[in-house]
C-alpha cells in the first residue's frame, strides 16, 4: 500500500543513520509493530557453518504488557521450523491450532491458544544472515500480502546489517563473552535500566547464595536494592550512562 511504502522509505533513512545492530533491530521491530498487529516478535542473526543463533531483540506480551525477552531465554540453535526458513530462504506463514502453544521467539515464552505467525529470512550478500518473525494470538491475523511486506522489511534490515558487517563480529564477541563469563571467578551480569537482571554468570549466583544463574535472574527484580551494598551507586551509574551515552 501507499502507506506501507512511505513507512519503508522513512525506515530506510533511519537505518542509514543507525549506529549499531541493536538499533537496527529496534527500528525494524518498531515498524513491524505499526504495520502488523503482534503480541510477540524476534530478530536473530544466524551463522550457517556453526548453525548458531545470536538473538538481537525479542518481545513478548504477558498480561497485556509488552516486554523484552531476556537473551538468556532465547534459543542459540534453530528449531526445525526456523531451520526450514533459514536453509530454504523462503518466508513462512503458519497457523497455530486451538490448544497449541507456539513460542514468541521459537524457544522463549510461549503464547498459548490460537494464533498465527510469519517467519521470514534476512538476506545478505553472502546468503541468509538471520530471521525475523512476528506472532499474533489471532488465527487469521496475517495474509500472504502481509508476509510479502514483512519480507521487504527483513530485506531492508539485511541491507543495514550487511553495511555494518556485524554478523561475524557479533558471533565472535558472543562466544568470547560467554566463555569468559562462564569461567570467570568474578560476578558478571547485565541488567535493564529499570533494575531487572537479564543475564548473570555462575560466579555471581554463588556470590549471592543462589543455586544457579537462572534462579538468581528469576529472583532479582531490583538490582539496586538486592545487589548493591550502597543502592545510591546504582543511581549514579544510571546518571553517568544517561549523560555520556556509554
pLDDT along the chain (246 residues), means of 10: 73 80 89 89 88 89 86 84 91 67 40 72 89 90 91 91 69 75 89 88 95 92 94 93 81
pLDDT computed for residue 73 by the predictor: 81
Long-range contacts, stretch 133-136, CB < 8 angstroms, 24+ apart: 133/41, 133/42, 133/82, 133/106, 134/32, 134/36, 134/38, 134/40, 134/41, 135/38, 135/39, 135/40, 135/41, 135/102, 135/104, 135/111, 136/36, 136/37, 136/38, 136/39
Report whether 20 contacts 164 (CB < 8 A): yes
pLDDT computed for residue 112 by the predictor: 37
pLDDT computed for residue 229 by the predictor: 94
Nearest Cα neighbor of 36 from 154, 155, 162 is 154
pLDDT computed for residue 211 by the predictor: 94
Amino acid at each position: 500500500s501507499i502507506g506501507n511504502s512511505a513507512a519503508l522509505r522513512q525506515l530506510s533513512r533511519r537505518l542509514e543513520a543507525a549506529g549499531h545492530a541493536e538499533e537496527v533491530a529496534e527500528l525494524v521491530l518498531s515498524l513491524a509493530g505499526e504495520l502488523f498487529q503482534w503480541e510477540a516478535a524476534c530478530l536473530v542473526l544466524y551463522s550457517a557453518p556453526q548453525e548458531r543463533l545470536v538473538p538481537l531483540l525479542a518481545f513478548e506480551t504477558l498480561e497485556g504488557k509488552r516486554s523484552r525477552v531476556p537473551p538468556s531465554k532465547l534459543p542459540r540453535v534453530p528449531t526445525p521450523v526456523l531451520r526450514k526458513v533459514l536453509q530454504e530462504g523462503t518466508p513462512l506463514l503458519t497457523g497455530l491450532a486451538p490448544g497449541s502453544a507456539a513460542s514468541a521467539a521459537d524457544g522463549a515464552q510461549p503464547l498459548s491458544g490460537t494464533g498465527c505467525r510469519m517467519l521470514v529470512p534476512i538476506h545478505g550478500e553472502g546468503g541468509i544472515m538471520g530471521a525475523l518473525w512476528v506472532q499474533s494470538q489471532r488465527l487469521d491475523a496475517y495474509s500472504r500480502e502481509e508476509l510479502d511486506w514483512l519480507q521487504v522489511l527483513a530485506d531492508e534490515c539485511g541491507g543495514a546489517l550487511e553495511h555494518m558487517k556485524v554478523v561475524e563480529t557479533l558471533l565472535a564477541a558472543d562466544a568470547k563473552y560467554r566463555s569468559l563469563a562462564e569461567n570467570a571467578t568474578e560476578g558478571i551480569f547485565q541488567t535493564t535500566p529499570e533494575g531487572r537482571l537479564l543475564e548473570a554468570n555462575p560466579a555471581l549466583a554463588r556470590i549471592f547464595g543462589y543455586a544457579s544463574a537462572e534462579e538468581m535472574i528469576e529472583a532479582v527484580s531490583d538490582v539496586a536494592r538486592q545487589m548493591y551494598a550502597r543502592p545510591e551507586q546504582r543511581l549514579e551509574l544510571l546518571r553517568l550512562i544517561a549523560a555520556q551515552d556509554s
